[in-house]
Structures are given as structure tokens and as C-alpha cells.
């Protein structure tokens, strides 16, 4: 069992930065691929970035070069550093832990980017 709690969302102007954090509980965190997803109003949930247990990262094209995902296994945490934010980045951001065959989700944190 993995429980995920996100923090760090808020309101920021276009071009600004935010750092999201996800605190994970459960012994299986270190074995899970972690990720961040987002869901904008009226749209489906989409991938933002993932990081494996070997620290291999994968980014959606629309955030490459602007967002950075990282994990701290000692703290059971995964962060998402977001720079050069755009209004289209506005969404609820969800932390995800994938440990086959289970998928765990946090409740999400809202990021609003004003133009």
C-alpha cells in the first residue's frame, strides 16, 4: 500500500516557477516508478513526467526543458520543479506511484498560471 500527498500548488504568473512535492508512505515506495500527471478542466488526465527506481526520467513533449522531476528515496518524496510556466499549464497535478500491477494516486494539487 502506498499513500501519496501532494503539496506546493498555487497561483503564479506566466513565466514564473513552482515546485511541487509528493510525500509517499509505504515500504514499496523505493520499488515504484513515480510520476506526475495533470488534468485541466474539461480535459483528460495526461502524463507530465515519470522517474524510475534507476532515476531514468521521461517527460511529455510539452514540458521538456521546463520541468524537472526528481526523487529522494531517503525521504520517500518525489518533486516536480516547474519553470517558465504557461497559462496552458493550469491544471490539477497528481502524484502517481506505479508498482505492478497497482497504480496509486494522490488527491492532487491545483496549479493556476495567470497570463
CA dist 66 and 89 (Å) reads 11
Surface-to-core class of residue 35, CB atoms within 10 Å of its CB (0-12 exposed, 13-18 middle, 19+ buried)? buried
The contacts of residue 34 (CB under 8 Å, 6+ apart) are 22, 24, 50, 51, 69, 71, 78, 95, 96, 97, 98
pLDDT digits (tens, 9 = 90+) for 22-50: 999 876 778 889 999 999 999 999 999 99
Task: Give the pLDDT confidence score for residue 73 in this predicted structure.
Answer: 83
Q: Give backbone dihedrals phi and psi of 30, rounded to 5 degrees, phi first.
A: -65, -20
Amino acid at each position: 500500500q502506498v499513500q501519496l500527498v501532494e503539496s506546493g500548488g498555487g497561483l503564479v504568473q506566466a513565466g514564473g516557477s513552482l515546485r511541487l512535492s509528493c510525500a509517499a508512505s509505504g515500504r514499496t515506495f523505493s520499488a515504484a516508478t513515480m510520476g506526475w500527471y495533470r488534468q485541466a478542466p474539461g480535459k483528460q488526465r495526461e502524463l507530465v513526467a515519470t522517474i524510475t527506481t534507476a532515476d531514468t526520467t521521461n517527460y511529455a513533449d510539452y514540458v521538456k526543458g521546463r520541468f524537472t522531476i526528481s526523487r529522494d528515496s531517503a525521504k520517500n518524496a518525489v518533486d516536480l520543479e516547474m519553470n517558465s510556466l504557461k497559462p496552458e499549464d493550469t491544471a490539477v497535478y497528481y502524484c502517481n506511484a506505479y508498482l505492478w500491477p497497482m497504480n496509486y494516486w494522490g488527491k492532487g494539487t491545483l496549479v493556476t498560471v495567470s497570463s
